[in-house]
Structure 1
Amino acid sequence: MLDHDSIVEWCRQYLAQLLDVPGAEIDPDADFDTLGLDSALAVSLLIEIEQNYGVDLPPEELFDNPTINAVATYVRAHAQNPVA
Protein backbone atom coordinates (compact mmCIF):
# COMPACT_ATOMS: atom_id res chain seq x y z
CA MET A 1 0.00 0.00 0.00
CA LEU A 2 1.24 3.45 -0.84
CA ASP A 3 2.10 5.68 2.07
CA HIS A 4 1.30 9.41 1.82
CA ASP A 5 4.63 10.39 3.39
CA SER A 6 6.67 8.27 0.98
CA ILE A 7 4.90 9.86 -2.01
CA VAL A 8 5.56 13.32 -0.55
CA GLU A 9 9.23 12.48 -0.04
CA TRP A 10 9.57 11.09 -3.57
CA CYS A 11 7.99 14.27 -4.99
CA ARG A 12 10.24 16.48 -2.85
CA GLN A 13 13.37 14.70 -4.04
CA TYR A 14 12.24 14.69 -7.66
CA LEU A 15 11.44 18.41 -7.62
CA ALA A 16 14.68 19.15 -5.77
CA GLN A 17 16.59 17.59 -8.67
CA LEU A 18 14.56 19.49 -11.26
CA LEU A 19 14.94 22.81 -9.43
CA ASP A 20 18.54 22.15 -8.34
CA VAL A 21 17.88 22.79 -4.65
CA PRO A 22 18.20 20.59 -1.55
CA GLY A 23 15.13 18.44 -0.92
CA ALA A 24 14.81 19.87 2.58
CA GLU A 25 14.08 23.28 1.01
CA ILE A 26 11.02 21.95 -0.83
CA ASP A 27 7.97 22.76 1.30
CA PRO A 28 5.28 20.14 0.61
CA ASP A 29 2.59 22.73 1.43
CA ALA A 30 3.93 25.43 -0.90
CA ASP A 31 2.12 26.09 -4.18
CA PHE A 32 3.99 24.85 -7.23
CA ASP A 33 4.16 28.45 -8.49
CA THR A 34 5.94 29.47 -5.30
CA LEU A 35 8.41 26.63 -5.74
CA GLY A 36 9.21 27.83 -9.27
CA LEU A 37 7.60 24.96 -11.14
CA ASP A 38 6.83 26.03 -14.70
CA SER A 39 4.63 24.15 -17.15
CA ALA A 40 7.48 22.09 -18.62
CA LEU A 41 8.62 20.94 -15.17
CA ALA A 42 5.02 20.22 -14.19
CA VAL A 43 4.59 17.95 -17.21
CA SER A 44 7.82 16.19 -16.29
CA LEU A 45 6.47 15.60 -12.79
CA LEU A 46 3.19 14.22 -14.17
CA ILE A 47 5.06 11.80 -16.45
CA GLU A 48 7.23 10.57 -13.59
CA ILE A 49 4.21 10.10 -11.32
CA GLU A 50 2.54 7.97 -13.98
CA GLN A 51 5.70 5.90 -14.49
CA ASN A 52 6.41 5.44 -10.78
CA TYR A 53 2.91 5.07 -9.38
CA GLY A 54 0.77 4.06 -12.36
CA VAL A 55 -1.50 7.05 -11.80
CA ASP A 56 -2.57 9.27 -14.67
CA LEU A 57 -2.57 12.76 -13.20
CA PRO A 58 -4.09 15.12 -15.80
CA PRO A 59 -2.41 18.55 -15.99
CA GLU A 60 -5.61 20.31 -14.92
CA GLU A 61 -5.47 18.41 -11.63
CA LEU A 62 -2.44 20.49 -10.66
CA PHE A 63 -4.76 23.50 -10.48
CA ASP A 64 -6.99 21.62 -8.04
CA ASN A 65 -4.01 20.03 -6.25
CA PRO A 66 -1.31 22.74 -6.35
CA THR A 67 0.99 21.37 -3.63
CA ILE A 68 3.04 18.24 -3.10
CA ASN A 69 0.81 17.20 -0.21
CA ALA A 70 -2.29 17.57 -2.39
CA VAL A 71 -0.69 15.61 -5.24
CA ALA A 72 0.34 12.85 -2.82
CA THR A 73 -3.24 12.60 -1.58
CA TYR A 74 -4.50 12.39 -5.18
CA VAL A 75 -1.93 9.73 -6.12
CA ARG A 76 -2.69 7.63 -3.06
CA ALA A 77 -6.43 7.83 -3.73
CA HIS A 78 -6.09 6.86 -7.39
CA ALA A 79 -3.28 4.28 -7.22
CA GLN A 80 -4.47 0.73 -7.76
CA ASN A 81 -1.43 -1.18 -8.89
CA PRO A 82 1.76 0.78 -8.41
CA VAL A 83 4.35 0.27 -11.12
CA ALA A 84 7.29 -1.74 -9.80
Structure 2
Amino acid sequence: MPAQESIVQWCQHYVAQLLDVPPAEIDPEADFDRLGLDSALAVSLLIEIEHEYGIDLPPEELFDNPTINAVAAYLLAHTQNSVA
Protein backbone atom coordinates (compact mmCIF):
# COMPACT_ATOMS: atom_id res chain seq x y z
CA MET A 1 0.00 0.00 0.00
CA PRO A 2 1.53 3.33 -1.03
CA ALA A 3 2.07 6.10 1.48
CA GLN A 4 0.23 9.37 0.94
CA GLU A 5 3.52 11.19 0.37
CA SER A 6 4.49 8.80 -2.43
CA ILE A 7 1.09 9.34 -4.09
CA VAL A 8 1.56 13.12 -3.81
CA GLN A 9 5.04 12.89 -5.34
CA TRP A 10 3.82 10.67 -8.18
CA CYS A 11 0.98 13.10 -8.94
CA GLN A 12 3.34 16.10 -8.78
CA HIS A 13 5.68 14.46 -11.27
CA TYR A 14 2.84 13.46 -13.58
CA VAL A 15 1.24 16.94 -13.54
CA ALA A 16 4.67 18.56 -14.02
CA GLN A 17 5.19 16.37 -17.07
CA LEU A 18 1.77 17.35 -18.45
CA LEU A 19 2.49 21.05 -17.95
CA ASP A 20 6.18 20.86 -18.91
CA VAL A 21 7.40 22.43 -15.66
CA PRO A 22 9.70 21.17 -12.87
CA PRO A 23 7.88 19.02 -10.27
CA ALA A 24 8.96 21.47 -7.54
CA GLU A 25 6.67 24.08 -9.14
CA ILE A 26 3.59 21.89 -8.58
CA ASP A 27 2.01 22.91 -5.26
CA PRO A 28 0.08 19.90 -3.90
CA GLU A 29 -2.30 22.30 -2.10
CA ALA A 30 -3.16 24.30 -5.24
CA ASP A 31 -6.46 23.68 -7.01
CA PHE A 32 -6.04 21.88 -10.32
CA ASP A 33 -7.38 24.88 -12.24
CA ARG A 34 -4.80 27.14 -10.55
CA LEU A 35 -2.09 24.71 -11.63
CA GLY A 36 -3.28 25.05 -15.21
CA LEU A 37 -5.04 21.70 -15.60
CA ASP A 38 -8.00 21.99 -17.93
CA SER A 39 -10.65 19.27 -18.07
CA ALA A 40 -8.77 17.25 -20.72
CA LEU A 41 -5.59 17.22 -18.65
CA ALA A 42 -7.56 16.39 -15.50
CA VAL A 43 -9.08 13.38 -17.27
CA SER A 44 -5.59 12.33 -18.32
CA LEU A 45 -4.50 12.52 -14.67
CA LEU A 46 -7.56 10.53 -13.64
CA ILE A 47 -6.79 7.75 -16.13
CA GLU A 48 -3.15 7.56 -15.09
CA ILE A 49 -4.06 7.46 -11.38
CA GLU A 50 -6.42 4.56 -12.06
CA HIS A 51 -3.71 2.78 -14.06
CA GLU A 52 -0.93 3.45 -11.55
CA TYR A 53 -2.85 2.59 -8.37
CA GLY A 54 -5.61 0.27 -9.57
CA ILE A 55 -8.28 2.40 -7.87
CA ASP A 56 -11.39 3.49 -9.73
CA LEU A 57 -11.51 7.26 -9.37
CA PRO A 58 -14.85 8.68 -10.55
CA PRO A 59 -14.44 11.99 -12.44
CA GLU A 60 -16.54 13.86 -9.90
CA GLU A 61 -13.90 13.06 -7.26
CA LEU A 62 -11.50 15.45 -9.01
CA PHE A 63 -14.08 18.19 -8.40
CA ASP A 64 -14.72 17.07 -4.82
CA ASN A 65 -10.95 16.71 -4.20
CA PRO A 66 -9.48 19.49 -6.35
CA THR A 67 -5.86 19.32 -5.12
CA ILE A 68 -3.13 16.72 -5.33
CA ASN A 69 -3.12 16.36 -1.53
CA ALA A 70 -6.89 15.77 -1.51
CA VAL A 71 -6.70 13.19 -4.30
CA ALA A 72 -3.84 11.42 -2.50
CA ALA A 73 -5.86 11.28 0.73
CA TYR A 74 -8.88 9.94 -1.21
CA LEU A 75 -6.74 7.27 -2.89
CA LEU A 76 -5.10 6.27 0.37
CA ALA A 77 -8.47 5.93 2.12
CA HIS A 78 -9.90 3.84 -0.70
CA THR A 79 -6.77 1.69 -0.94
CA GLN A 80 -7.00 0.95 2.77
CA ASN A 81 -10.74 0.24 2.51
CA SER A 82 -10.23 -2.21 -0.35
CA VAL A 83 -7.56 -4.09 1.65
CA ALA A 84 -9.46 -4.10 4.95
TM-score category (smaller protein): over 0.9
> Is 2:42 the counterpart of 1:42?
yes
Q: Which has the higher helix share?
A: 2
Counterparts of 1:27-38 in structure 2, within 5 Å, are 27-38=27-38
RMSD, matched Cα: 1.0
Aligned equivalent of 1:61:
61
Mapped partners of 1:15, 1:63: distance in 2: 16
Which residue identity lines up with residue 52 of structure 1 in the other structure?
E
Unmatched runs of 5 consecutive residues or more in structure 1: none
Q: CA deviation at 1:78?
A: 1.1
Distance (whole Å) between structure 2 residues aligned to residue 45 and residue 56 of structure 1:
12
1: CA distance, partners of 2:64 / 2:16:
22
Deviation, structure 1 residue 63: 1.1
**1:57 CA displacement:** 0.8
Partner amino acid for 1:38?
Answer: D
Q: What is the rounded CA distance, in whole Å, between the counterparts of 1:43 and 1:49 in structure 2?
A: 10
Q: CA deviation at 1:16?
A: 0.2
Could you tell me how far 1:75 is from its partner in structure 2?
0.7
Gaps of 5+ in 2: none
TM-score (ref. length: structure 2): 0.92
Amino acid at match of 1:29: E
Q: Percent identity?
A: 75
How many residue pairs are counted as aligned between the two chains?
A: 81
